[in-house]
Structure 1
Amino acid sequence: MERAPGIRERVIDTCSRLFYDQGYLATHINQITAEAGISKSGLYQHFKSKEDLLSEYLTHAGKKWFDGLNELLVDCQSPAEILLTFFDYRKQLAETDKFKGCAFLRLVYELPALDERAYTVIRRHKQLVKTLMFNQVQLLEPATYVTARKELTELIYTLFEGCGVESSLQRSVKPIEESKAIVKRLIF
């Protein structure tokens, strides 16, 4: 028998949906408590402030993001295939989320004066993505690329992030597919 989610899990699930779908500023505590089916006092027993909810949401979003990526990476056989799979994952997310874009970047744009704790979670997530890419670039055969490993990683990462933004703007996976094709030419 499956255990019903506790208050904390319900609040995080509710915040994840609301913050992503309608934005942080448009989401109010009363809406969170109503949709999570809890009282304000129940909410504040688990979270001291809306900023705590934001940090928890970002941590949860990062874990969910990497879990999804890891599901796709299971069958990858080579560093090049892993690098290209990042773009397949970006495409999958764009289609699933109806081109709403990266949860982390959406918050950075929405909240220019974002809480430092939230910025730390976002920076850590983005740096981990870049590090995973760099680790795969390190494993490429030296003859398969013409530029230094760090520069190649920066280029791939920039294409990865940029195609996500452009995909949201165009409401199309075409920018993702084009960026993946560029990376493929760079590493093969």
Structure 2
Amino acid sequence: MKTNTASKAETPAVRQRILDTAARLFHRQGYNSTGINQLIEEAGVAKASLYQHFKTKDDILKAYLMETSQAWFEQVDKTIQGQYTTKEKVLALFDMLGDFATSVDFRGCNFQNALVELDINETDTRQFIQGHKSRMGQVFADLLSSAEPDVANEVTLLFEGALITSQLFHNLEPIKTARRIVERIL
């Protein structure tokens, strides 16, 4: 009698392959421009397998954003661990931002990109994105807890603005400029 062990072991791999493919496609061509059939074909999965893991394309987007958020904050933690002073930690995050921007060929923030494609009535994903961005703001608030009250908000705004502006102009200058401003105010 044949057991179902192989298919059970493959289930997480299939789910991850769908998410990896979605991550690549959503980031490269956008959420709305990525069709389910393209996702199925490029992930190399059957339609039934995709729907076994995700009921809708929105569910894939949410899972992709959750996975991306987790990876982002792991990188944030790793980046600030190697620094000693608050200023070094904050500036290291701007350096990390520059590395990210170039690594994705200035395609910008996964969350900002998804946000602009959301239907105005799609509140769950919007709230998740707000939570992700608030969490980044909290990182700066925690790091800058001894600074003037508005400094963390200002640094967060510079961080987010630098990311979107570097995408717009397809270069690192906005991130470098924001880093210089932060260096002066800290």
Q: Give the alignment's TM-score, normalised by structure 2.
A: 0.89
Q: Which amino acid aligns with 2:98?
A: K
* Structure 2 residues without counterparts, runs of 5 or longer: 1-8
- The aligned residue for residue 155 of structure 1 is 154
Tell me the distance in 2 between the aligned counterparts of 1:114 and 1:174: 35
Q: Which amino acid aligns with 1:122?
A: I
Question: Does the C-alpha gap of structure 1 residues 114 and 90 become closer, same or farther in structure 2, counting only changes over 3 Å?
Answer: farther
How far did 1:56 drift?
0.4
The answer to whether 1:119 aligns with 2:126 is: yes
- The aligned residue for residue 33 of structure 2 is 26
Q: Which amino acid aligns with 1:74?
A: Q
Q: Which amino acid aligns with 2:89?
A: I
- The aligned residue for residue 183 of structure 1 is 182
How far did 1:112 drift?
4.7
How far did 1:114 drift?
6.0
Write out the 4+ residue segments of structure 1 that deviate beyond 6 Å after TM superposition: none
The answer to whether 1:35 aligns with 2:42 is: yes
CA contact (8 A) 1:90 1:176 kept: yes
The answer to whether 1:78 aligns with 2:72 is: no
Q: CA RMSD in A?
A: 1.6
1:70-126 Cα offsets, whole Å, 9 max, x none, are 232221111111111121111001111111111100111223526222112101110
CA contact (8 A) 1:51 1:115 kept: no
Percent identity over the alignment is 32
- The aligned residue for residue 167 of structure 2 is 168
Identify which of structures 1 and 2 has the higher relative contact order when contacts are C-alpha pairs closer than 8 Å and 6+ apart: 1
Matched length: 177
* Structure 1 residues without counterparts, runs of 5 or longer: 141-147
Tell me the distance in 1 between the aligned counterparts of 2:80 and 2:44: 37
